[in-house]
Structure 1
Amino acid sequence: MIDDYSADLLGKLVNRVNSVIIGKRKEIELAIVSMLYGGHILLEDVPGVGKTLLVRTLAACLGGTFGRIQFTSDLMPSDVTGVSVYHPQTGQFEFRPGAIMAHVVLADEINRAAPRTQSALLEAMEERKVTVDGVTHPLPKPFLLLATQNPLDYEGTHRLPEAQLDRFLMRIALGYPQPEQEVAMLDRMQERLSLEEIRPVLLLEEMVQMQRQVRKVLVDERIKQYLVAIAHASRRHSQLALGISPRGTLAWMGAAQAMAYYKGRSYVIPDDVKAVAAAVLSHRIMLKPEAKLSGLRGEDLVEDLLSQGKVPVSHPHRGVSS
C-alpha cells in the first residue's frame, strides 16, 4: 500500500496541476498514473485546449531538466538526438546533446514532422538512450516524453507509424471545457501564477522511488488471464485490422498497477484495469475501413471488447477471485 507521505505528494501534484488546467482532473490523473509507471503520453486533440500547457505544468511540478522540441516539416533527426561536432584544434569529436536529453521532454505537434524524424524517437522511447555516430548516450532518469498531436485531418500532419504509437503508454484527449469551466478559466487567468513561479511538488528521486514501488503492486493470476483474453479477442475482432500487441498487454497491466498505487492499494482490482483501458488500448488497435466509415472510434471498440470479457470478481483486502 502507498505510504501516507507519497499519497500526500501525489494529491498535491494533482491539485497543483488542476489549478492551472481547469476542469480536467480525470485527464490529469491519467497523465500522472502514466508517469508513475514511467510511460510516455500522447496528447491528441484540436489546437487550443491546453495540451502544451498541461505538459509544461507537469514538468514544472516535477522539477529536473525540461526539453522542448517543436516538430516541423524540416526538423532533422539530429535536431532531436544531438550531433557530434569535430574540433580541428583537438582532433576530437564532441557530442552536443539534443533536446531529448532531459528528464521531461515535450514533443510539440509531433505529427507535423516527417516520418524519418519521428522515428528518431523510437530508441529513446523504448530503451532510454540515443545512439549518435555509433556512440550510445543514456538518457537521464526519470525520462518522460509527452507528445502533443493535432487530429490527422488537419493540414500538414503525418500519421505516426504503428510501431511508434505502440510505445506511448497512453493517449489522452482533453476536449473542450464545459461553459462553467471556461468561465472559471477566464477568472483564474487573472490571478494564476506563471509557470516560472510554480515550485516542484516532487523531487526526481521521489518519482523514481514511486516508479519502483509501482512495479511491486500485486497482479492476481486471474487479472492477467483477463488481460490476455481481451488481447486475443481483439486479434479476432471482425471490425479490427490490428489487435492489441503483446507490448500493449504489458502496458495495460503496468498502467493498472500504477492506477492501483495511485488509489492507495498494493494490489490491482478490475476497476483499475477498466479505468485505464481506453487510454492504453485505443491507439494500439487499427479499425477496418468499413468500421471507420460507420463512425466507430478506437474507444468504442475497446468498450466492446471489455463488455465481452468475463471480469474477475474483486474482494476487499483479498484482490480477486473467480
Structure 2
Amino acid sequence: MTAVLAALAVVDRSRETELLEAALASGAHVVLEGPPGTGKTTLLRRVAAGRDRSFALVEGNAELTPARLVGHFDPALVLSRGYQPDVFVDGPLLTAMREGGLLYVEELNRVPEETLNTLLTVMSEREIVVPRLGLVRAAPGFAVVAAMNPYDAVGTARVSSAVYDRTCRIAMGYQSAEAEAQILAQRAPVPSADWRDRAVALVRSTREHPELRVGSSVRGTIDLAGINHQLARARGVAEDDWQVGLDAALVALSGRVRVDEASTRRPEDIIGELYATHFGPGPAGDDHTVEEPRPGEA
C-alpha cells in the first residue's frame, strides 16, 4: 500500500486531501471543482487507495445514458434464460454501490439531465430500483465524487441546485509555482533548474494574459519539456537551445490556450511573445513572430 500511495502522491494538495477524506468519512458525496490539470483525478485515486476502496471512473458526456451508468441485461442470455439477476451486467454505478466503493464522474456538467436524475436518487436514498432486477442498496462506504471545470462553457450544462444540495464542494485552483516546478521535474526531463523555472513561469503567465480567456494547465508545461527534449535530440543541439524551446512551446501551448474574442492576434503570436519574455530574445534578435501559412500550404 505504501508503494501505491507514493505513486499516487499529489503535490501540494495536503489540505484538499484532508478535506476529501473527512467528507467521505462523514458519508457525504463530493464535487471537486476546478480547471483542468489541477490533480482532481490523482487526488481521488490516492484517497481511494489509502482507504482500500474500489474506484469506478465514468467519463461524463452526452453518451452517458442511465443504462450505461447503471447496467443492463445481457440480450443473448435474456433470450435463453429470461430476466434473471445473474444475467444482469452491472454498470459502474451498481459496481460501486455493491462494493461500497467510489463512483467518480468526470465532467459532471456534461452529463445528460436524465442520467443526472438517476444519480440524484442514489445520492439521496443510497439505493436504486432497477426494472426487472429490483432494489439495490449501497454497501457502507459508497460515495459519489464528481469533478467539473466551472470555466468551460462549451458542450456543458448548468449543474442544478439539486446536485449541489446533495454534495459538498471542494474548490481546487492551480498549485503554486514551486509545486508546478516539482511536478514538472517528476514528469519530464528538463535541461536545468533555471530552464524548468522559466518554463513554469511561461505557462503560468498564460493564465493571466489579458488576451487569453483560458490559459494552460501544468500538463502544458510537461508537454513543453518533453517535446523540447525530443526536438533537441532530433536536431542535435543543446536542450536549452532558444529556438528548440520556442518551437516546443508553440506546439505544446498554442492549442491549449483560448484567445479572447476581442483580440486580433493568434495563439502563436501570444505564446511567442510570452516565450521571449521569460527566455529572452532570440539569438539574432528574433522578434518571435510566426508567419501565416501561404494559401495552399499545410
CA distance in 1, matches of 2:122, 2:6: 26
Residue of structure 2 in register with 1:25 after alignment: 14
- Residue in 2 that maps onto 1:92: 83
| Pairs within 5 Å for 1:173-188 | 173-188=171-186
1:67 to 2:56 alignment = yes
Amino acid at match of 1:88: L
> Is residue 149 of structure 2 the alignment partner of residue 160 of structure 1?
no
Query: So what's the TM-score if we normalise by structure 1?
Result: 0.51
Task: Please name the residue that 1:138 is paired with.
Answer: 137
- 1:120 corresponds to: 118
- Identical positions, percent: 30
- Alignment counterpart, residue 48 of structure 1, candidates 25, 33, 37: 37
- Equivalent position amino acid for 1:109 in 2: E
Q: Which has the higher contact order (CA 8 A, sep 6+)?
A: 1
1:153 deviates by: 4.3
**C-alpha displacement at 1:95, in angstroms?**
2.2
| Structure 2 residue runs without a partner (length 5+) | 189-298
Counterpart residue type for residue 99 of structure 1: P
In structure 1, distance between residues paired with 2:152 and 2:46: 28
Contact 2:104/2:144 (8 A) holds in 1 = yes
1:157 positional shift: 1.1
Q: CA deviation at 1:186?
A: 2.3
Aligned partner of 1:221 in structure 2 is none
**RMSD, matched Cα:** 2.7
Deviation of the 1:147 alpha carbon: 0.5
Q: Distance in 2 between matches of 1:17 and 1:143?
A: 24
Distance in 1 (CA, whole Å) between partners of 2:172 and 2:7 is 13
Distance 1:107 1:54, change over 3 A: same
Give TM-score scaled by structure 2 length.
Answer: 0.55
C-alpha offsets along residues 251-270 of structure 1, whole Å, 9 cap, x if unaligned?
xxxxxxxxxxxxxxxxxxxx
The unaligned stretches of length 5 or more in structure 1 are 1-11, 191-322
Matched, 1:78 2:76: no
- Alpha carbons 2:8, 2:45 under 8 Å: kept: no
Structure 1 or 2, whichever has the larger Rg, is 2
Count, aligned residues: 179
Distance, in Å, in 2 between the alignment partners of 1:173 and 1:64 is 23
| Distance change in 2, residues 1:17/1:173 (3 Å) | farther
Bigger mean CA deviation after superposition, 55-64 or 110-119 = 55-64
Conservation of the 8 A alpha-carbon contact between 1:18 and 1:28:
no
Q: How does 1:260-299 map to 2 (within 5 A)?
A: none
